[in-house]
Amino acid sequence: MDDSTAIPRRLPVVDVLRGVALVAMIVYHFSWDLAYHRLVDWDVAGDPVWRDFARTIAASFLAISGLSLVLARRAGADAGRYAFRVAKIGAAAAAVTAVTYAMFPDSFVFFGILHMIATGAILSAPLLGAPAIVPALLAAAVSWIAATVTHPLFDAPLLWWVGLSTTTPVSNDYVPVFPWLAPMLVGVAVGRLVATGRIRLPSATPTAAPLRALAAAGRWSLVVYLVHQPLLFGLVSVAAGVLPTSPAVERARFVGECRAECVRWDDRPGYCERFCGCVASSLDGTSYFSVRGGDPELGTLVATAATTCRTAEDDAGAEAPAE
């Protein structure tokens, strides 16, 4: 079957799916903002459930983008329009990099979801008219390479976007080509199946208000993406300046951050849990957890507690009988 199937430039169902992904993304970013400002004790950045949630959202956006590229081509989008679309997303990605560098210089977004969508659109362009099996096989190859290949060559910062470095760069949103080109190629493969009539998507405009709202958000996804996080971050920042500090939340966040840092230099089973619990217990009864982010005047006390707890753990380990 060829590309003779009539397909409109936009399918409402694709906009609805993109709208659903936007809602999930907003939920994630709002939760991240709350955790960053220490209003909740959720470990959004480190908890495996939250990380899988974020990965699912990213994969959804990329797959939908791949599908949309095929549908746009099938509906008659020429090279000039395609290039303009890529340039627009690339400009938005550059803006995200600039803003996050100003706000988070140690973890700014140098290659996030928008960077990947723009890059993926360029890399996928030759495949938009290929048989579905071609992008599907390439997606499998990308996934396999990402899971099995690393090389010090890609440790150079200028090559971090590739995704094959031996260590993971620090960034608030890191979506490199390997493995994230794979879901975009899957979207291209699905798009080819739609274009040839092997998969049929509903073309009717939704009538239910929630679906219409999702479709509208999906049509303006780039604007929603660029606007929602600065707005949410600003609102949560204001709330953090007004709401009282929760010592329980501060303590939980302290222990979580301590464990995340501890495992970088000591991976003995149970060591970091005991060490960080010891330090936190040493700070109980002080004013440290009464200040959001910790009382800076007690920094020396924290260092002393860490030294004492580390020494105690090392002594306990030395006294433990060998198995």
Q: What is the pLDDT of residues 42-95, one digit of tens each?
A: 889 888 999 999 999 999 999 999 999 999 887 666 788 899 999 999 999 999
Same structural domain, 64 and 122: yes
Are 247 and 290 spatial neighbours (Cβ–Cβ below 8 Å)?
Answer: yes
Domain for residue 6, yes or no?
no
Give me the phi and psi of 106, to 5 degrees please: -90, -10
pLDDT-derived band at 8, boundaries 50, 70, 90? low
Same structural domain, 263 and 231: no
Same structural domain, 117 and 131: yes
Distance of alpha carbon 24 from alpha carbon 18, whole angstroms? 10
Domain for residue 45, yes or no?
yes
Angle at 226 between CA 95 and CA 139, to 5 degrees: 85
Q: 221 pLDDT exceeds 80?
A: yes
Boundary (domain end) residue, out of 191, 211, 241: 241
Q: What is the mean pLDDT of residues 194-199?
A: 91
Q: What is the pLDDT of residue 293?
A: 84
- The DSSP secondary-structure symbol of 174 reads B
Domain for residue 48, yes or no?
yes
Length of the chain measured in residues? 323
Same structural domain, 215 and 259: no
Same structural domain, 87 and 229: yes
193's CB contacts (< 8 A; 6+ apart) are 132, 199
Q: What is the mean pLDDT of residues 18-23?
A: 98
Distance of alpha carbon 130 from alpha carbon 193, whole angstroms? 10
Note if the pTM is more than 0.85: yes
Same structural domain, 227 and 300: no
Q: 116 pLDDT exceeds 60?
A: yes
Q: What is the pLDDT of residue 2?
A: 55
Q: What is the pLDDT of residue 114?
A: 98
The residue range of the domain holding 288 is 247-319
Neighbours of 59 (CB within 10 A): 19
Q: How many domains does the chain have?
A: 2
Are 145 and 162 spatial neighbours (Cβ–Cβ below 8 Å)?
Answer: no
pLDDT-derived band at 3, boundaries 50, 70, 90? low
Same structural domain, 191 and 299: no
Output the six-digit token pair for 198.
Answer: 């092997």
Same structural domain, 277 and 214: no
Domain for residue 1, yes or no?
no
Boundary (domain end) residue, out of 241, 276, 295: 241
Q: 4 pLDDT exceeds 80?
A: no
- Please, what is the end-to-end C-alpha distance for the chain in angstroms? 67
Q: 160 pLDDT exceeds 60?
A: yes
Q: What is the pLDDT of residue 5?
A: 56
Distance of alpha carbon 82 from alpha carbon 14, whole angstroms? 18
Same structural domain, 211 and 235: yes
Same structural domain, 25 and 136: yes
- Amino acid, single-letter form, for residue 138: L
101's CB contacts (< 8 A; 6+ apart) are 108
Same structural domain, 71 and 134: yes
Boundary (domain end) residue, out of 241, 261, 276: 241
Same structural domain, 62 and 143: yes
Please give the residue that has the higher pLDDT: either 250 or 6.
Answer: 250
Domain for residue 3, yes or no?
no
- Amino acid, single-letter form, for residue 244: P
Domain for residue 268, yes or no?
yes
292's CB contacts (< 8 A; 6+ apart) are 37, 38, 240, 245, 250
Domain for residue 141, yes or no?
yes
Q: 111 in helix, strand or coil?
A: strand
Q: What is the pLDDT of residue 45?
A: 83
At what angle are helices 177-195 and 48-74 packed, to 10 degrees? 40
Q: What is the pLDDT of residue 94?
A: 98
- E runs forming strands in 152-292: none
Domain for residue 7, yes or no?
no
Q: What is the pLDDT of residue 313?
A: 81
Q: 6 pLDDT exceeds 70?
A: no
